[in-house]
Amino acid sequence: MFCPKCGSLLMPKQEGAKKILVCSCGYTSKNVGSMKISEKLQESKRVHVTDKILDKDDYETLPKMDAECPKCGHNKAFYWLLQTRAGDEPETKFLKCEKCKHVWRDYS
């Protein structure tokens, strides 16, 4: 459900024996009627930014470039770009060695 005043998501809140819907703008829904309100919280898992692509062996489909691996010295690496900072800052280039699978970042 969304707030009719500002369009934000309404959040359930316990008021006495019943639950109501409230918004951060101050709007409160008093007429919940027969609508069932339930909350389900998921345990958050911190995911390392490189895990998004490296969990699966999908990196074989990524483009390759000439880059020297700092670990083994091999001259070819797969690469991809991710926006890891604010939108007005440049993307971060991640590289993965074709030979030893070492992952590193290139900030240039």
Tell me, yes or no, whether 27 and 58 share the same domain: no
Mind listing the pLDDT tens digit for each residue in 46-85?
A: 555 555 555 456 667 889 999 999 999 999 999 988 887 8
Which domain, by its residues, includes 5? Answer: 1-32
Residues taking part in catalysis? 88-89
**Domain for residue 3, yes or no?**
yes
Mind listing the pLDDT tens digit for each residue in 13-41?
A: 877 777 788 888 888 887 665 566 666 66
Region 92-104: mean pLDDT is 91
Q: Distance (Å, rounded) from C-alpha 98 to C-alpha 72?
A: 10
Q: Distance (Å, rounded) from C-alpha 83 to C-alpha 17?
A: 45
**What is the reported pLDDT for 30?**
73
**Domain for residue 6, yes or no?**
yes
**Domain for residue 45, yes or no?**
no
Q: How many domains, the chain?
A: 2
Domain with residue 73: its CATH number is 2.20.25.10
3-class secondary-structure state, position 79: strand
**Domain for residue 39, yes or no?**
no
